[in-house]
Structure 1
């Protein structure tokens, strides 16, 4: 039989930096205990403080919240102000809570956090920890939580994540209409320019061109055909934008039986608009088998997928 165990979400650690949301310093802890014990609800509530655009209260039970299994412990909670909930766009607020107890002996704060983000709404306005520290351990001067007579300090960080404004959605269009583009380069043997560019064509909501070097690009030694796929000049990616093109680039065999094909799988970006091969095929092989009777070279590209990314904010 397998066994299961409950994984605690409570994290305790020391920290030198004080709380940033609220601090409650008590000059006479015994008097606070006496006051809360004599009251009907056994707790002390701080004044309202603001954090993340909402108002909150820190609640401390010096001898524990018996109704929440906190008897004989220090219990600490945070309560959201009802007016803040009314003003919340979704009528609920998500927050991370980190509770602090100062220790004079260590000169640091013991922080206690339930790492699960808490959802505050009309049905649940209070979240906290019922067993922060045992009361006897906290109240013993030798442990450092009560110091210089009868002082102590509690605190809390209420961290409200800002609404999500930076995101991207990456999708891949694999159902392209007419995924092929063909380019017939006439009179290949008589071409004199260093490079030639196809007509612009659309694929996957982007505009593309093929670029061909009949005597090879730099590094091809005049013995190779160089062939590239580029994003068209009018469709350059924005800063940090990337477009993936998955395609098969081919030089077609006029007899239709031995096409030379290379697979292209490349992210095109603002500074890398094109991708291809300096040595796509040797000119010797090309002249021998890949020019048709009219001295034309037939190039074809067939796309498998083109990516699309939606961003916010738009850069």
Structure 2
């Protein structure tokens, strides 16, 4: 049923709690009589069937469980000298279910009148119920000496006591995402030749849309710089294309090298981008990418064209369920 080891598992957690159990509660008016009854009934008391876990197990009201209490301990499971407690799932309903197993967390309760709280005992490992293992629990919930000591407060008002259990069954996983980083990009480069640069009059120019890493992108060029730059700088950005903007709460990582090419040599101006593109911030780059004076001096070719290039290293992708 539980572990048969002589050493109590280090995964056992005990703590006090004011809130009563939410799955099932058992109040005993005469504990001594329960002990006598258990000695003639395989040393245990079985509660009636109950359903639990936030929804009936497997989502069907026919899948039920019982609380098992061994008032003198389960000797077959190294529980002698202790109160032993278990949960047993109804085996008939389990074997007839489309799914034949369920995972559940079990928290056992023993009420203490003196503290006016419940002592809760839990094996933090999740229990796996199936046709071969229908019973899980703890063989050493509380020592009999401590439980029966009148000064302890577990037996009160003559011979009363309370036990309980919370069976926590998580609902099936229905919200997830898979984040991937594509480092083997097909055609990772895009080049843009901005012709007749010295004659440009608009504040902003946008490249053709291009695709890298299953996403669509554009480059934005401000030939006189962005807001507040007084026409002394060239601004350059990588931007998600309007037709492929990130959805709400979606984010796309783009690692890339954005360059202005030197037409006569290898003195390229390069900015490394490593940013998440989100709905609220679609573009990344540099406002002061290159001074306009240096650009005119070095970076225009004989035909007055500016050559811009971007080379991607990584583009992320995320699959979501459910899709919002």
1:6: how far off?
Answer: 8.9
Deviations 1:262-305 (A, max 9, x none): 10111000110111111000011000010001000010000001
Instruction: Classify the secondary structure of the residue corresponding to 1:265.
Output: strand
Residue 28 (str. 1) matches residue 37 (str. 2): no
Return closer, same or farther for 1:32/1:6 CA change in 2, 3 Å cut-off.
Answer: closer
Question: Which stretch shows the higher mean deviation, 51-60 or 242-251?
Answer: 51-60
1:85: how far off?
Answer: 1.8
Question: Which structure 1 residue ranges, 5 or more long, are not aligned?
Answer: none
Which residues of 2 match residues 138-287 of structure 1 at below 5 A? 138-287=147-296
Distance 1:81 1:6 in 2: 27
1:91: how far off?
Answer: 1.1
Q: TM-score, normalised by structure 1?
A: 0.96
Question: Which stretch shows the higher mean deviation, 296-305 or 68-77?
Answer: 68-77
Return closer, same or farther for 1:124/1:195 CA change in 2, 3 Å cut-off.
Answer: same
Distance 1:215 1:61 in 2: 83
1:83: how far off?
Answer: 3.4
Tell me what 1:50 maps to. Answer: 51
Distance 2:97 2:292 in 1: 70
Instruction: Classify the secondary structure of the residue corresponding to 2:177.
Output: strand
Q: TM-score, normalised by structure 2?
A: 0.93
Distance 1:290 1:192 in 2: 19
Tell me what 2:61 maps to. Answer: none
Q: What CA RMSD, in Å, does the superposition of the two structures yield over aligned residues?
A: 1.3
Instruction: Classify the secondary structure of the residue corresponding to 1:30.
Output: helix
Tell me what 1:118 maps to. Answer: 127
One of 70, 94, 111 as aligned partner of 1:102: 111
One of 6, 16, 21 as aligned partner of 1:14: 16
1:221: how far off?
Answer: 1.9
Tell me what 1:132 maps to. Answer: 141
1:161: how far off?
Answer: 1.1
Residue 82 (str. 1) matches residue 83 (str. 2): no
Deviations 1:165-207 (A, max 9, x none): 1111110111111100000000000000001000000111110
Distance 1:88 1:225 in 2: 68
Is the CA contact 1:220–1:226 (under 8 Å) kept in the aligned structure 2? no
Instruction: Classify the secondary structure of the residue corresponding to 2:51.
Output: strand
Residue 304 (str. 1) matches residue 304 (str. 2): no
Deviations 1:98-148 (A, max 9, x none): 000000000000000011101111111111111111223212222111111
Distance 2:190 2:290 in 1: 20
Question: Which structure 2 residue ranges, 5 or more long, are not aligned?
Answer: 1-6, 58-63
1:34: how far off?
Answer: 0.8
Deviations 1:234-265 (A, max 9, x none): 11111111001100000111113211111011
Instruction: Classify the secondary structure of the residue corresponding to 1:97.
Output: strand
Return closer, same or farther for 1:155/1:201 CA change in 2, 3 Å cut-off.
Answer: same
Residue 65 (str. 1) matches residue 74 (str. 2): yes
